[in-house]
Chains A and B, each alone.
Chain A
C-alpha cells in the first residue's frame, strides 16, 4: 500500500514535508443504491411505454408523439441524474500521507470540502464493521478521534488493511513528533 516512488505527489492542502502514501475512494457499494434506483426508473419508463403503446394502443398522432417526448425527456433526465451520482462517487477521496489523513469531498458544483487530521494527534482509531454485507465485502467505517475533532471515514474499502496501515503510520508519526520536540528542546538548551 505504500508507494515510495510516488511520495512526492502533490494535491491541494498538502504540506511541503508530507509524503504521499496512498489514496482510496469509498467502497463500490456506495454506487449500488444509485444503480438500483436508476434500474427502477428505467423499468418504470419501459412499463409506461408498454402500457401506452401496446396496451392502450394510442392511434392519434399528437398524443402518441407527446407520450414519446415525455418518456424520452424522463429517460434523458434520469440518465443524467445517474451520471451525476456516478461522477460524485469519484469526487470523494481519502488521501493518506505519512503525517495526515485528508478527506476530500466534492460535488460537481456546490461542495468542495477538505478535512485533514494529524496522525500523531490521533488518540484512537476505531474500526466499525456491522452486519453481514460489511463483513462479506470487507468495508466499514473508520473513526479517527483526536482531542477536539473526529473524522469518520464511511464505506472504507479493505478496511482491515487501511486500519493496520493507519495504526502503523500513527506510530511512525508519533516517533517523528517526539524526536522533533526533543531536538527543539536540546536546541533551546
Chain B
C-alpha cells in the first residue's frame, strides 16, 4: 500500500469520526444551551462556537500526529 492511500484512509476516517461525534453532540446539547452569563460553572470558556473550534483543532491534531511520523517511517 503506498503512503498516499494510507494518508487518504486516515484522513477520511478521522474526519468522518469527528463529524459524526460532533453531529451527535450538537443534537444533544442544543436544547440545553443557554446564554453565557447564566452559566455559573467554573469552565465558562466553552460556548458552542468554541467547542466547534475545539473539534476542528482536534481533527487537524489527530491527522497531523498520525501522518507526520508515518510519512517518515513508511
| Contacts from A to B (Cβ < 8 Å) | 1, 3, 6, 9, 11-12, 20, 22-28, 49, 53, 64-65, 68-69, 72, 75-76, 79-80, 83-84, 86-87, 90-91, 93, 95, 104, 106-109, 112, 157-158, 161-162
Contact = CB atoms under 8 A, between A and B. Distances in A.
Most buried by B among A6, A9, A68, A112: A68
Size bin of chain B's contact surface: 35 or more
B1 interface: yes
Interface of B: 1, 6, 10, 13-14, 17-18, 21, 24-25, 28-29, 31-32, 34-35, 37-43, 46, 51, 54-55, 58, 62, 65-66, 69-70, 73-74
Given A22-B38, A72-B66, A80-B17, 13 more contacts: A3-B35, A3-B37, A6-B38, A9-B35, A23-B39, A23-B41, A25-B43, A53-B73, A64-B73, A72-B10, A93-B32, A106-B28, A161-B40
16 contacts: A1-B40, A9-B34, A9-B38, A23-B41, A64-B73, A64-B74, A65-B74, A68-B6, A68-B69, A68-B74, A75-B65, A91-B28, A107-B28, A108-B25, A157-B40, A161-B40
